[in-house]
Amino acid sequence: MAAASSPTSPPPPPATDAAAPGLPDLSIPYDLATRGQWQALLSHLSHPAHAPHPHHRLLLSALSALSLAKLRRFTDAAALLASLHPDPACPPPPFLIRLLHAILPLFLPDRPLALDRLFTLLSSVRARSDAGHPEWRRRDALVASLLAADHLAHREFDVALALLADIAAREPGDPVLLSRLAYAHLQIGNLAAASAAFRHVESVAAAGEDPARHANLLARNRALEFIVAKDYAAAVREYENCIEADPADAVALNNKALCLMYSRDLGDAIKVLEGALERVPTAALNETVVVNLCSMYELAFVNHGEVKRSLAEWIARVAPDDFDTSCTRM
């Protein structure tokens, strides 16, 4: 299970045919962002100062900073944000600017500064009069999850578990968020707590308006428990159910391949990942899948360098601009 490790992408713009009078048209930037064309987006936004309204300039600058961060130009992104001077007469800066301002130090790296800014941002989100609005609740969970993931990565388990428990208390009806607490318990080896959390997730999902909506999530959760018990065949069956329901379930595809590898079926494991990249490249082409596939190549082939080179050449043709090609270990 890999947490997101790169700056977040912007939400979709309102579904309108054209920008409202006086507002910047975000249809082209959004299209470029969804296709991962961050260099083109950066060029498209090269003159945000030409926007007629200060708040619009801030919004376009935020998208420019996001593009720089996606291209791993973290110092440039931080410098761009530092150069902004919000107009006191304007509304507060867009949430994207505040989030980027908080998380960029993680990549510079200046972890203490990032943690301070993230906790400050979390407090400001929760202090809003409209903090109960679904969008601000989503942002609350996003910031808290980023903090929890960082503390887990640094083995600061008490803080991470407290953050995840708080998310669960604030969003008691969201099986996706509730599952994160179970994953953390699995990561630190508290199997009893993880099992209890998974059972709670199942009960919440069953009581929801559409119990089938989270079928793949529940199957992946069961598969994780089978993996912990070293019952890889049972885990593979759960992942196959997920893939049958959603052929683009990249987590299930990746983890099925890992279970096959653990079962010493390296050939089929490679076929699963190669097939995923061929059939659903938009979903499956991520660094985790490629790292695992390259590791399998190294185990399976004497000439793994040539095989990985072919993979790297294909990735160079189809991958988005922010794809980290170092994952091929060439």
Candidate from 3-12, 18-27, 39-48, 229-238 with smallest mean pLDDT:
3-12
Indicate if the pLDDT at residue 320 is higher than 50: yes
Indicate if the pLDDT at residue 235 is higher than 50: yes
Indicate if the pLDDT at residue 19 is higher than 50: no
Instruction: Identify the pLDDT of residue 25.
Output: 75
215: left (phi over 0), alpha (psi -120 to 50) or beta: alpha
Q: Which residue has the tokens 């997101």?
A: 4
Q: How many CA atoms lie within 13 A of 272 on its CB side?
A: 27
Residue 44 exposed, middle or buried by CB count within 10 Å (0-12, 13-18, 19+): middle
| 6 domain residue, yes or no | no
Instruction: Give 15's pLDDT tier (boundaries 50, 70, 90).
Output: very low
**Helical residues (DSSP H) of 127-190, grouped into ranges:** 134-153, 157-170, 175-188
Q: Which residue has the tokens 């683009």?
A: 248
Instruction: Identify the pLDDT of residue 47.
Output: 66
DSSP 155: T
| 74 domain residue, yes or no | yes
Instruction: Identify the pLDDT of residue 16.
Output: 40
Indicate the number of domains in the chain. 3
% the chain with pLDDT above 70: 89
Contacts of 234 (CB under 8 A, 6+ apart): 223, 226
Instruction: Identify the pLDDT of residue 108.
Output: 95
Q: What pLDDT, in 10s, does the model give residues 100-156?
A: 999 999 999 999 999 999 999 999 999 999 999 999 999 999 999 999 999 999 999
Indicate if the pLDDT at residue 168 is higher than 60: yes
Contact between residue 219 and residue 242 where contact means Cβ atoms under 8 Å apart: yes
Find how far residue 307's CA is from the centre of its chain. Answer: 28
Show the tokens assigned to 237.
Answer: 């069956």
Instruction: Identify the pLDDT of residue 2.
Output: 42
Q: Cα separation of 215 and 219, whole Å?
A: 6
Q: Cα separation of 173 and 205, whole Å?
A: 8
| 51 domain residue, yes or no | yes
Kindly state whether residues 73 and 155 are assigned to the same domain.
no
Instruction: Identify the pLDDT of residue 227.
Output: 98
| 12 domain residue, yes or no | no
Instruction: Identify the pLDDT of residue 147.
Output: 98
Q: What pLDDT, in 10s, does the model give residues 267-276?
A: 999 999 999 9
Show the tokens assigned to 176.
Answer: 């996706």
Burial code (b: 16+ CB inside 10 Å, e: under 16) for 187-217 equals eeebeebbeebbebbbebbeeeeeeeebebb
Q: What pLDDT, in 10s, does the model give residues 252-265?
A: 999 999 999 999 99
Instruction: Give 51's pLDDT tier (boundaries 50, 70, 90).
Output: low
Contacts of 212 (CB under 8 A, 6+ apart): none
Domain final residue pick, 80, 109, 138 = 109
| 203 domain residue, yes or no | no
Amino acid identity, position 119: F
pLDDT: is 65 or 14 the higher one?
A: 65
Instruction: Identify the pLDDT of residue 52.
Output: 62
Kindly state whether residues 264 and 323 are assigned to the same domain.
yes
Q: What pLDDT, in 10s, does the model give residues 188-205?
A: 999 999 999 999 999 999
Nearest to 178 by CA among 162, 167, 188, 194: 167
| 255 domain residue, yes or no | yes
Tell me the CA distances in angstroms from 234 to 228, 260, 263, one per residue in order. 11, 11, 11
Instruction: Identify the pLDDT of residue 50.
Output: 58
For residue 109, say if its preceding peptide bond is cis, omega within 30 degrees of 0. yes
Instruction: Give 4's pLDDT tier (boundaries 50, 70, 90).
Output: very low
| 83 domain residue, yes or no | yes
pLDDT averaged over every residue in the chain: 91
Instruction: Identify the pLDDT of residue 86.
Output: 63
Domain final residue pick, 109, 140, 168 = 109
Kindly state whether residues 269 and 299 are assigned to the same domain.
yes
| 23 domain residue, yes or no | no
Main-chain phi, psi angles of 267, to 5 degrees:
-60, -50
Domain final residue pick, 64, 83, 109 = 109
Dihedral, CA atoms, 109, 113, 117, 118, nearest 10 degrees?
60
Domain assignment of residue 255, given as a range: 243-330
Kindly state whether residues 249 and 328 are assigned to the same domain.
yes
Indicate if the pLDDT at residue 297 is higher than 50: yes
